[in-house]
Amino acid sequence: MTEESLAIQTFALTRKFNDLTAVDSVDLAIKRGELFSLLGPNGAGKTTTINMLCCLLRPTSGTASVMGYDIIKEPFRVKERIGVSPQETVLSERLNSWENLSLIGKISGVGSVELRRRSEELLEIVGLLPRAKDQVAKFSGGMKRRLNLIMALVPDPDVLFLDEPSLGLDPQSRRAIWEYIERLKGKKTILLTTHYMDEADFLSDRIGIIDGGKIVALGTSDELKRGISDRGAMIILADNLSPQIIEGLRIKGRYTQVDEVSGHLRVSGKDIDFREIVDYLHSKGIVVRSAALEQPTLEDVFLHITGKALRE
Amino acid sequence: MRFLEFGKRNLKETWRDPASLAFLLGFPLIFMLLFGLAFGGNIPEYKLGVVDQDRSQISQAFVSEALDKAFEVKPYDNAGKALDDLEVGNIKAYIIIPQGFGEKVFRDWQGQSENISLDIKYDESDIVVAEQVLSIIDAITRAFARIEVPITLNASPLNLKAEITYIDFAAPGIIVFGLLILIPTAARMMVRDKELGFLARMLTTPIRPAEFISGYSLCLFAVAVVQIVIFMLVARLFGMDIVGNAGWAFLIFVLTGLSCIGIGMIIASLTKTENQAEPLSWLISMPLAMLSGAWFSIDLMPSWLRSFAHAFPFSHAIEASRDILIRGTSLGTITTDFLFLGIWTAIIFAAGTILFRRSMAS
C-alpha cells in the first residue's frame, strides 16, 4: 500500500493517563474510502484513539497521519479534512437544526449557497427537514442523535469519525443511521467505533478488535470468523435423548461441551464432525429432526480472542 | 470571520434562554430598581451636631450650604455639649470643623493639594445609620472641598453642581457590584460548553483557540454593555446626577466589566464543570465586592486591608466613576485610578485568555 492510498495511518500511537495505558502502541492503516470499525468493550481505548486522530488529545508517544498530515505537527490541516460525530450528543440546544449545521459549516469555510444546499440534503436524508426550524432542545433523543451525526458531514470531509453513532438509540433510529452510513461507504473514509457486534458486522469493510488499548485482531468480518471456524457448535433437535447418549458424545473427546438447552442438544468444540455426530445418534436409534452447524459470530471471535464476553 | 459566527451562536444561546436572559437583564433592572426605591428619595434628615471651631466664611458656607442640605444641623459652641447630646441620642453624630479648615479648602481650590480632616463622632449603636451618615458627610465634604474652579467666597461659594443624595454617592458602587456578577456569568457560559463537550466538538473544526475565545468575549461584552446601560438609566431615573462626562463613566464601567469577564475566564479554565465553577466564582466575586467599597466605605477598613483592597481595580472604578458622576471631575484628575483600572483590565483579560486557551489543549 502506498502512502497516498491511505487515509489514516498510526505509528505506535500511545496514550497514557497516569498509570493507565488507554491506547497501547497501536499501528493501523486505513485505506481511502474504507469503512473501518473499532470494536471493543467500554474502556477499550476506542474513543481515546479517535480523540487523538482528530487532534483533541496529544499522544503520549507515537503519532498518526490523517490524509497525509501529521496530527501533532499539522493539526489544523487535519481538522480541515475531518468530520467528527462525538459519542456524546453535542449540539447547541437553543439553536435550530439549520443554525447548528450552519455554525459548523461556516467555521469550516463552506460558502452560503453550498451550505444551504448541503444542509437541506442532509436534513432530508435523516428526516429532520420538517422540524428543522425547531429549537434542538425540543428534539427527542433519536432526533438529536441524527443531527449530531450529520453535523460531522456539513464540511464534506474526506475522513469521518463516528464515535458510537447509534449509542442509546431505539432499533428504528439505529436502522436509519446504519442505512445512511451505508450510503456513505466508498465515498468517504469512515472510522467508526462501536461495541455493538451487529453494527460492526453490518457496516464494516474491516474490523479491528480492540481490548485493553491494543488491537488484538484485524480483518474483514468473514476473515475474523474464519479464524475461529474450527471452534464451532452444532444444534440438534431430536427425540428420546437420554443422559447415557449425551454422555457417549462427550467421551468422543473432541467435543468439549455437550449440553441440553430447552429441548435442543448443543455440541461445541474443535473440529465438529457433522456426519460423525448424526451417524452416532442414528446408531443409537435416535430420530434426528433437525441438525445445523452454528456460524460463529463476532461475539464468539471476541470471546475467543480476549477470553471475555463483550457486553452490550 | 469564524469568531463572529461563534459569537452569534453564543448570543443566540443567551438570548433564547429565558432563564439566563431574565437573569442577565432582569437582575440589573430589579437590583437597581430596588436600590433606587430604597435610597433614591430624600435621605432621612439625620440630626448632625456641628462644632465650628474655624468660624471662617468657608466653614460657615460649608455648614449652611452643604451640610444643611443633607442634615438637620444643630450648632454647638463646644464639643462637650455635643457629646452629651450624642450620648442621649439627640443627635446621630457630630462633626468638628477644626481651625484652619477654610484656609486649607481655599488652598485646595487654588490648586494646592491639602489634606482636609474633620473630626466626626457618631453613635455606632445603629450601624446602618452610622454608615449612612459617614458616607453622606464624606461625599458632601469631598464634593465641597474639591471644587476645581477657584471662586471668590462672596459669590456663591457653594458651587456644588448638584445636590448630593445618597443614590449619587452609592450608585457607582452598586453598578460595580452588579458588574461583578459577570464573573459567575462568564465562567458559567464557558465552563458549560466545556462540560457538555461542545468545546471539544468545536476543537475538531478548524476554528483557532483565539477565535473561540473572542467569540465568547463578543457575547459577554454585549451583555456587559447592555447591563451598564440598564444600570445607568435606572440610576438616572432615580435621581443619580451625572455632573461630569457620562461617556467616561461608561468607559470605566466597561473596563470593569471586561476585568470581570477576564476573571470569569480564569475560573472557567481552572474548573471542569459548572458545579466547580459556580462556587469558585462566588467565592471570588463576593470578597471582591466587599473590598471594592460597594457596600462599606473602604476608608473605614484597617490600613492593611485598605491597601489590599486598592490592589484590585474595583475600588478604583468606584472612586473614579463617583468623581466623574457627582463631582464632575475631569479625566485628568483621576488619571491614576483610570490607568490602574485600564492596566489591570488588560492584564487580567490577557491572563484569562492565555489560561483558557491552555486549558483547551490536552
pLDDT in tens, B304-359: 888 888 899 999 999 888 888 877 777 777 888 889 999 999 999 999 889 988 88
Q: Does B12 touch chain A (CB under 8 A)?
A: yes
Same domain, yes or no: A204 and A263: no
Residue of B201, B208, B211, B219 to mutate for A, most A C-beta atoms under 10 A? B201
Please tell me which residue, B82 or A69, carries the higher pLDDT value. Answer: A69
Confidence (pLDDT) at A312: 44
The amino acid occupying position A141 is G
Q: From the CB of residue A37, how many other CB atoms can be counted at a distance below 10 Å?
A: 27
Tell whether A147 lies on the interface with B, counting CB pairs under 8 A.
no
pLDDT of A311 reads 54
A6 φ, ψ (degrees, to nearest 5) = -100, 135
CA atoms in the 13 A half-sphere facing the CB of B113: 1
Judged against a pLDDT cut of 60, whether residue B161 lies above it is answered with no
- For residue A37, give the nearest of A224, A175, A203 by alpha carbon: A203
Q: Pick from B13, B16, B206: which is nearest to A76 by CB?
A: B206
Question: Do residue A117 and residue A88 come from a single domain?
Answer: yes
Chain B residue at shortest CA distance from A76: B206
Residue pLDDT, tens place only, B177-214: 999 999 999 999 999 999 999 999 999 999 988 898 89
Tell me how far apart the alpha carbons of residues A263 and A247 are, in angstroms, rounded to a whole number.
Answer: 16
ipTM higher than 0.85? Answer: no
Total CB pairs under 8 A between chain A and B:
67
Same structural domain, A238 and A164: no
The per-residue pLDDT of chain B, averaged, comes to 82
Which amino acid does the sequence have at B192? Answer: R
For the cut 60, the answer to whether the pLDDT of residue B148 exceeds it is no
Q: Buried (b) or exposed (e) across A151-188, using 16+ Cβ within 10 A?
A: bbbbbebbbbbbbbbbbebeeebbebbbebbeebeeeb
In this structure, the answer to whether residues A136 and A191 fall within a common structural domain is yes
For residues A142 and A243, state if they share a domain: no
Which residues of chain A have a CB within 8 Å of the CB of B5? Answer: 102-103, 106-107
What is the pTM assigned to this prediction?
0.75
B362 touches chain A (CB under 8 A): yes
Q: Which residues of chain A have pLDDT under 70?
A: 1-3, 229-231, 251-253, 309-312
Q: Does A135 touch chain B (CB under 8 A)?
A: yes
Residue A198, by phi and psi: left (phi above 0), alpha (psi -120 to 50) or beta? alpha
Q: Sign of the C-alpha dihedral, residues A276, A277, A278, A284?
A: positive
Residues of A in contact with B273 (CB under 8 A): none
Nearest to B290 by CA among B318, B254, B321: B318
Question: Which residue among A226, A245, A276 closes a domain?
Answer: A226
| Residue B42 confidence class, pLDDT cut points 50, 70, 90 | low
The pLDDT of residue B98 is 82
Domain count, chain A: 2
Nearest-angstrom CA–CA distance, B256 and B250: 10
Tell whether A115 lies on the interface with B, counting CB pairs under 8 A. Answer: no
Mutate to test the interface with B, among A53, A90, A108, A149 (most CBs of B within 10 A): A90
According to the model, what pLDDT value does residue B44 have?
63
* pLDDT > 90? residue B262: yes
Query: Domains of chain B (ranges plus CATH)?
Result: 2-39+167-360 (no CATH), 47-161 (3.40.1710.10)
Q: Determine the pLDDT at residue A230.
A: 65
Q: CATH no. for residue A260?
A: 3.30.70.980
Residue B33 has pLDDT above 50, yes or no: yes
Query: How far is A270 from A229, CA to CA, in rounded Å?
Result: 9
Q: Which of B205, B208, B214 best tests the A interface by mutation, with the highest count of A CBs <10 A? A: B205
Which residues in A lie closer than 8 A to residue B206 (C-beta atoms)? 76, 79-80, 107-109
More confident residue, B141 or A312: B141
Provide the residue range defining the domain that includes A238: 231-295
Nearest CA to CA, how far is B14 from chain A (Å)?
A: 8
Mean pLDDT of B247-276: 94
Show contacts of A46-51: CB within 8 Å, 24+ apart.
A46/A163, A46/A164, A46/A193, A46/A195, A46/A210, A47/A87, A47/A163, A47/A164, A47/A193, A48/A15, A48/A22, A48/A23, A48/A213, A49/A10, A49/A13, A49/A23, A49/A193, A49/A210, A50/A84, A50/A161, A50/A163, A50/A191, A50/A193, A51/B200
For residue A119, being part of any structural domain is answered with yes
Window 167-206 of B: residues touching A by CB (8 A cutoff) are: 196-198, 200-206
Contact B12 A95 (CB under 8 A): yes
Residue % of chain B over a pLDDT of 90:
30
Are A169 and A279 within one domain? no
Q: Give the span between the Cα atoms of B101 and B163, in whole angstroms.
A: 22
